[in-house]
Copies of this chain bind each other. A is one copy, B any other.
């Protein structure tokens, strides 16, 4: 090991998914070694990080072992228990984001309370415990478990009171509190992504438009087309303010609804939907479309290094996720390359080293250029091809 640069700090990453995998690329460039805590051998990031060990992020001993000798610990997901992060902090292990910030991405009720405190625009909400509470809140509404939901799981649209039975039962069984939110009649979904360093320096990426299907991100267009520049600026300012007020370090994604503004004829406004404190699916376009990717800025922020420019490198960048189709035998990943790459020499493909399964995110493509329709067509074609939706006669 005598040849290794002795000055570079080691970064522990908890969770072996594709977000940790994609942090490995800028870590290579920065010369910063990563140490991974993976859920199991062979998971996405475990395949590509040399210093990887298998363990349980809910086990304090595993967390202590993996962070030993690391300058900082960061995350692939938001599920590390707050009390473990506090215990690590007591040991002198710095986490970015830290537990006091992260709780806002772990608990939707804590997040809603904070947004109320900050006066951030958001849907009407309440904590509900039983049918009477839901009726009092008013229908239709959305019920969400405050903790543990992801990608549309743990979210129910309640149009009549009978629809509330399942979420109330889940909440009672799991002991998790239930959040009721106004069902927002939104025009589209936006995402405002910022990076913030412990020094307080922050960088805001362009606000993007995101298409969600069944709670799963499918497409992102950067920047959001036809977005009122004043609204875009206010969404960036909102995300920067949330990051600052909550003490977020690393990437913060503020998922937003764009909805008609009742106070302005023909105008729209944004409402805070969700917060995520890690590189986010709505920021994958930055890998090929921005000067500095969200993954690099997440690492820079965790290390309290100056952040890189979040400026876009092209007029438009489109990201489309590659999801396993209903029939996994029809999809193709590596075998999709000959057609997809030959058809589009400028296509950027990112696969996660995962086998195809129905509905599973296994990769994404990025396409950038001057013509949005062209970018959309190329990215959608490639993603559909990998998914197996465009004929399967290539064998």
| Partner-B contacts on A (CB < 8 A) | 1-9, 21-22, 24-25, 27-33, 40-44, 46-50, 52, 203, 287, 291-292, 300, 305-309, 311, 313, 332-335, 337-338, 341-342, 345-356, 362-363
7 nearest CB pairs, A to B: A31-B351, A1-B42, A306-B342, A306-B341, A7-B334, A309-B345, A8-B334
16 residue pairs A–B, Cβ–Cβ below 8 Å: A1-B42, A4-B47, A5-B334, A5-B351, A5-B356, A5-B362, A27-B48, A29-B287, A29-B348, A33-B47, A305-B338, A305-B341, A307-B341, A307-B345, A308-B345, A311-B346
A28 near B33: Cβ-Cβ < 8 Å: no
**Copies of this chain assembled into the complex:** 2
A29 near B350: Cβ-Cβ < 8 Å: yes
Contacts of A25 in B (CB 8 A): 25, 28-29
* Closest Cβ neighbor of A300 among chain B residues: B341
Beyond the given A2-B355, A31-B351, A305-B337, please list 15 additional residue pairs across the A-B interface where CB-CB is below 8 A: A1-B42, A4-B354, A4-B355, A5-B362, A7-B335, A8-B351, A25-B28, A27-B48, A28-B48, A29-B287, A31-B352, A50-B52, A306-B341, A306-B342, A311-B346
Complex Cα distance A351/B28, Å?
A: 8
Contacts of A362 in B (CB 8 A): 5
A353 near B31: Cβ-Cβ < 8 Å: yes
* Closest Cβ neighbor of A308 among chain B residues: B345
Partner of A306, one of B3, B46, B311, B337: B337
Closest CB-CB distance, A349 to chain B, in whole Å? 7
Complex Cα distance A350/B32, Å?
A: 10
Complex Cα distance A305/B44, Å?
A: 22
B47 near A47: Cβ-Cβ < 8 Å: no
Contacts of A342 in B (CB 8 A): 306
A24 near B30: Cβ-Cβ < 8 Å: no
Complex Cα distance A334/B5, Å?
A: 8
A24 near B48: Cβ-Cβ < 8 Å: yes
Contacts of A1 in B (CB 8 A): 41-42
Complex Cα distance A350/B351, Å?
A: 23
A308 near B5: Cβ-Cβ < 8 Å: no
Complex Cα distance A311/B347, Å?
A: 12
A334 near B9: Cβ-Cβ < 8 Å: yes
Closest CB-CB distance, A233 to chain B, in whole Å? 19
Complex Cα distance A349/B300, Å?
A: 12
Given A4-B47, A50-B47, A31 and B363 contact (CB-CB distance below 8 Å): yes
* Closest Cβ neighbor of A42 among chain B residues: B1
* Closest Cβ neighbor of A343 among chain B residues: B306
